[in-house]
Structure 1
C-alpha cells in the first residue's frame, strides 16, 4: 500500500460534483484538519484547483495534477472509459491502480465512475460484480449498510450472496460490529415470498457458519430505518429506488416542517421552542452526514461522494475512504468470501 508511515493517500477528483473544485478542495481541507496525516493528490484543471488550494493553507503541501478533461453527468460510461487517461476522474482511479494512492474519491457521474473503476481495477478474485454500498441512518444504535445501490440492475443469487459477504465485512470495518445482522430486501418476510433469485440467495446465506456475521432472513422496505438490521442486501435497481425514496422522504419531511412552522405567528413561536429538536432531526436526515458510498469488490478502493454534497459532506466521504483504508477492507472481504465459499459451496464467478 501507498500509506507507509505518512498516513493514507487519497486521490481526489477535484472537478466532480455540482460545484467542483470549490467544494471538493474545501472538503479536503476540513478532512485534513480532522486528520493531519491524510495526504492528497488533487486531479483537475490546475489553475482552478490551485486557486482553491490557496484559500486553505492546510493543503499547501498537496500535489496537484493537471488534467484536460472533466467527466460530466451527461457522459455515457463508454465515453468516460475512452477519456480515463485525460479526465480528472479517470486519473484519480488510475492513481489507485498504479499504487500512487490508497483510495480514489469522486463526486462525479456514478455510472462513469463505476465503468472506469471496474475496467481499470478489475474485480477481486472470485467476485463476479462489484457493488455500491453506503451507510444510512436508523433509529438504532448503528447505521445500516445497504448494497447494491445502483451498480448492477440485475443480480442472480450468487451476486446477492457475495454482496452480503462484502456488506458484512464493510459493517465490521466501518462500525466496529463483531457480528453484523444481514437481511435480504424483499416484499415480505415469509420464506415463500420474493423472486427466485432472492429465495435462492437466502438458501445460500443460511449456510453461513463462520460467526463473522449472521443471516436473519428478509426485511421489508418500511423497516429499513428501524435499527433491526446492520446490512441490507438487494439488487442495484431496487436498491437505488429505495435510496432515492428515503432521500426524497427526508427532504419532504424537513420541507413540510418548515412550511408548518412558518404558517402563522403561533407556529413561528412554536418553532423557537422546538428549534433544538428540529435541528437534531434535520442533522439526522441530512445526507451530508452519511456521505460516501464505496465500490466493494474491486482490486482497489473507490468512494463515490454525493454530487450535491457540501464541504462537510465531502470531508465525511473522505473520512470513509480513510477508514476503509486503515481497516484493510479488501483483505477482510477476501478472507470472508473464502470462508463463506467453503461452507456454502458458492460457485466461482463466471469467466
Structure 2
C-alpha cells in the first residue's frame, strides 16, 4: 500500500527536533520497507543524526538553512518559507519530488505555507484539518475540522464531509464511510441553520458515503461513525477534551493501582488489559493530522510525538499518497456538483 512512496520530512520540526524525527523515519522504514525519504533541514545537524540509523543510511538530505519557530506567526513564516525546512518540504510536494510532506512544527505556519504553495482544489473554499481518534468500534473515527476554520457555513461543512469521506475510504479501506455532523442533539430540528442546511444537502448526496445524521459529543468514541464533521472551534475543543480524558483515565488508573499493596497485586494480574487500554488511548498510535482540500498531501505530526508517533504520521502520509487522496477528493466534488453549495465552481483560493 505504501510501496514506492517518497515522503518529504521536515526534520527540524517538533519539540525534540531531528533526534526524534529521524528515529521516527527509521521506524517508519522498518514498518514499510518500500518507503523513500527526503530529509529537509540543516545538513550539518542532520548528517550525524542520520549516521545513527543504519536502516535509513544513504537517505538524501535537502539542505534548509532556517527553521520555523514554534511561536512564529504564520504571516512572518511565509516570508521565510523558501529558506526553511518546513517550506522546502512542502515545495518538494509541489514540484512532484515527494508524494507527501510531514512536519511536527508550527501548525499555523504549516497550514499557511501549504495553502499558499499548493493552493486549494477547485470547489474547496477552505482546507480542513482532519485526524483519526480512537473508538470502541472496528476502526478509529476521522474528525474534521480540528481548528483550521473556526467559522463555517453550510457549504463548508458539506465540503468537509466530502473530503473526510475520501480520507476515511483510504485510511480504513471502506467503500461508503458513515458520516455524521456534530450537533447539540440528534433530532432533525436541533442545531444551527448552517448545520441543518448541510444535513439536507448530505441526505441527497450521490457520493460514496452514508450520511447518518447528527451525533452528540458523548457519542464520538462509540464507533458508530467513520467521519464526524464540525467547525474548527468545536472540533478543536473535542480533540483537546478527548486527549485530556485519555490522560485523566491513565493517571486515574495509575493512582488507583499504586494506592495499596492489594492494588499493586491487582495491577500485576490485570496488566495485559491495562496495557491494551494504554495502547488504545496513546495519541502516538493515532498521530498524524492531514490538511484536506489542497493540491497535495501535507501531514501534521504532534510536536511532542515520540519516534513511534512520528512513524505513525509518516505511515498515514504514505497511505494518503499511495491512495491518491487529492484525486479522490477532486473526483467526488466533481460528481457532487452544485449540491455542495453556491461556492463550488469558484476559482481556488
TM-score over 0.5 (shorter chain): yes
Shift of 1:36: 2.1
Shift of 1:347: 4.0
- Tell me whether 1:221 sits opposite 2:221 in the alignment: no
* Structure 2 partner of 1:178: 175
1:163-174 aligned at under 5 Å gives the runs 163-174=160-171
Shift of 1:83: 1.0
Shift of 1:129: 0.7
Residues 1:113 and 1:344: Cα distance change in structure 2 (over 3 Å):
closer
Shift of 1:342: 5.3
Separation in 1 of the partners of 2:341 and 2:231? 21
* Structure 1 partner of 2:287: 291
CA contact (8 A) 2:129 2:289 kept: yes
1:39-54 aligned at under 5 Å gives the runs 39-54=36-51
* RMSD of aligned Cα (Å): 1.4
- Tell me whether 1:261 sits opposite 2:257 in the alignment: yes
Shift of 1:209: 2.7
- Tell me whether 1:200 sits opposite 2:206 in the alignment: no
Shift of 1:132: 0.7
* Structure 1 partner of 2:337: 341
Separation in 2 of the partners of 1:345 and 1:174? 26
Give ranges in structure 2 of 5+ residues lacking alignment: none
User: SS where residue 85 of structure 1 aligns?
Assistant: helix
Separation in 1 of the partners of 2:343 and 2:119? 19
- Tell me whether 1:300 sits opposite 2:296 in the alignment: yes
User: Could you tell which deviates more after superposition, 63-72 or 278-287?
Assistant: 63-72
- Tell me whether 1:71 sits opposite 2:87 in the alignment: no
Shift of 1:168: 0.5
Residues 1:317 and 1:271: Cα distance change in structure 2 (over 3 Å):
same
Separation in 1 of the partners of 2:80 and 2:268? 52
CA contact (8 A) 1:341 1:347 kept: no
Query: Number of paired residues?
Result: 346
Separation in 1 of the partners of 2:211 and 2:112? 31
1:304-319 aligned at under 5 Å gives the runs 304-319=300-315
Separation in 2 of the partners of 1:344 and 1:310? 39
1:95-114 aligned at under 5 Å gives the runs 95-114=92-111
Give ranges in structure 1 of 5+ residues lacking alignment: none
CA contact (8 A) 1:131 1:151 kept: yes
Shift of 1:343: 5.3
Separation in 1 of the partners of 2:150 and 2:345? 17
User: SS where residue 203 of structure 1 aligns?
Assistant: helix
Normalising by structure 1, what TM-score? 0.96
Shift of 1:32: 0.9
CA contact (8 A) 1:207 1:344 kept: no
Normalising by structure 2, what TM-score? 0.96
* Structure 2 partner of 1:86: 83
